[in-house]
């Protein structure tokens, strides 16, 4: 199934905007929460497949700051799903370390406690790190980083001239991992929706119409094949890149 993929050029970090659960459910005449439930099955499938392929970081956009504006019922259904899916044996079975990024203080207490417990419980797992962005938005994250840095300057811990790209990256929620190589958005929308704005400066972007609950191993292998067909130039010329690969 994955024969189109070069196993020597697997993206180290894949970030996914998991979109389309609601429309998937509506097409079946079901409530939106049914789509979110099916979305959890996709998370399970894609997580296992990524560990099998040798991906080191998988960052999943699960609930944005803006999603707090959804109907209360939908928000609580989503919180319930986060809670129950953390009971899953998937982390230990696949040797996956779990991390959460976002404004977790806004989450219900039981969800917050379970997230922290899962982070701790899985902290020694090595095969892959799965990062869940919850109550997350990139503008929130960057604003917080700037405030923290300003505080350090004010306290005289650092000089204004010490502020460089590395310093800013180091104050983001994602400071424990490299930037994404590949960003996938399912569900047909071609936008970023406040996700990892700083970190995707040089990521390869891949958009597909498939709703998240239908996104399977084959769909993932298509995304990776697309990634592998591209030349990452980082500002250089095609020839310069080819010469360094010789
Ligand atoms: C993505 O699916 C999951 C979340 C944002 C929580 P949606 O719920 O946005 O599904 P659509 O876009 O309405 O189909
Ligand atoms: C983005 O999806 C957030 C997540 C996938 C968690 P949305 O469905 O909320 O995005 P918009 O509002 O359509 O841009
Ligand atoms: Mg959506």
Q: What is the pLDDT of residues 32-67, one digit of tens each?
A: 999 999 999 999 999 999 999 999 999 999 999 999
Nearest atom in ligand 1 to 78's CA: 6
CA distances from 162 to 140, 155, 159, 177, 204 (A): 23, 14, 5, 21, 30
The finding on whether 136 has its CB within 6 A of some atom of ligand 2 is no
Question: Which bound ligand lies closest to the C-alpha atom of 26?
Answer: 1
How does pLDDT run across 200-227, given as a tens digit for each residue?
999 999 999 999 999 999 999 999 999 9
Question: Which bound ligand lies closest to the C-alpha atom of 61?
Answer: 2
How does pLDDT run across 110-130, given as a tens digit for each residue?
999 999 999 999 999 999 999
Question: Which bound ligand lies closest to the C-alpha atom of 17?
Answer: 2
Whole-number Å distance, alpha carbon 147 to ligand 3 midpoint, is 30
pTM higher than 0.75 for the full model?
Answer: yes
Distance between CA atoms of residues 228 and 4, nearest Å: 10
Give the residue-averaged pLDDT of 12-23. Answer: 98
Whether the per-residue pLDDT at 28 is higher than 90: the answer is yes
Q: Are 186 and 215 in contact (CB under 8 A)?
A: yes
Whole-number Å distance, alpha carbon 22 to ligand 3 midpoint, is 7
The finding on whether 64 has its CB within 6 A of some atom of ligand 2 is yes
The per-residue pLDDT for 246 is: 84
The per-residue pLDDT for 136 is: 98
The per-residue pLDDT for 87 is: 86
Domains recognised in the chain with CATH numbers: 9-136+180-231 (3.40.1180.10)
- Sign, CA torsion 84/86/89/90: positive
Whole-number Å distance, alpha carbon 38 to ligand 1 midpoint, is 12
Give the residue-averaged pLDDT of 217-239. Answer: 98
Whole-number Å distance, alpha carbon 220 to ligand 1 midpoint, is 19
The per-residue pLDDT for 89 is: 83
How does pLDDT run across 57-96, given as a tens digit for each residue?
999 999 999 999 999 999 999 999 999 999 878 899 999 9
Q: Are 60 and 49 in contact (CB under 8 A)?
A: no
The per-residue pLDDT for 1 is: 52
Whether the per-residue pLDDT at 2 is higher than 60: the answer is no
Give me the residues paired with residue 59 across strands: 15, 131
How does pLDDT run across 134-157, given as a tens digit for each residue?
999 999 999 999 999 999 999 999
Distance between CA atoms of residues 99 and 215, nearest Å: 22
* Catalytic center residues: 19, 67
Nearest atom in ligand 2 to 191's CA: 14
- Name the residue of 16, 20, 62, 77 to mutate for ligand 1: max ligand atoms within 8 A of Cβ: 20
Residue 20, token pair as written in the block = 């389309």
In 3D space, the residue among 58, 38, 62, 37 whose CA is nearest the CA of residue 47 turns out to be 58
């Amino acid at each position: 199934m994955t024969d189109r993929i070069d196993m020597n050029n697997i993206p180290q970090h894949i970030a996914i905007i998991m979109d389309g659960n609601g429309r998937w459910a509506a097409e079946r005449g079901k409530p939106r929460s049914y789509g979110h439930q099916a979305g959890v099955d996709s998370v399970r499938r894609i997580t296992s497949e990524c560990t099998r392929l040798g991906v080191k970081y998988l960052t999943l956009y699960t609930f944005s700051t803006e999603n707090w504006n959804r109907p209360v019922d939908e928000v609580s259904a989503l919180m319930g799903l986060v809670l129950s899916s953390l009971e899953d044996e998937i982390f230990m079975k696949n040797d996956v370390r779990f991390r959460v990024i976002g404004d977790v203080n806004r989450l219900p207490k039981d969800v917050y406690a379970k997230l922290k417990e899962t982070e701790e419980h899985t902290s020694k797992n090595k095969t892959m790190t799965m990062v869940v962005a919850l109550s997350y938005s990139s503008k929130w994250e960057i604003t917080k980083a700037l405030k923290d840095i300003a505080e350090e300057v004010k306290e005289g811990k650092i000089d204004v001239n010490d502020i460089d790209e590395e310093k800013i990256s180091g104050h983001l929620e994602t400071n424990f991992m490299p930037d994404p190589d590949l960003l996938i958005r399912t569900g047909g929308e071609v936008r970023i929706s406040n996700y990892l704005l700083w970190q995707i400066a040089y990521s390869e972007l891949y958009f597909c119409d498939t709703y998240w609950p239908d996104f399977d191993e084959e769909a993932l292998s298509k995304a990776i094949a697309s990634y592998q067909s591209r030349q990452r130039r980082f500002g250089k010329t095609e020839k310069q890149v080819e010469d360094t690969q010789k």
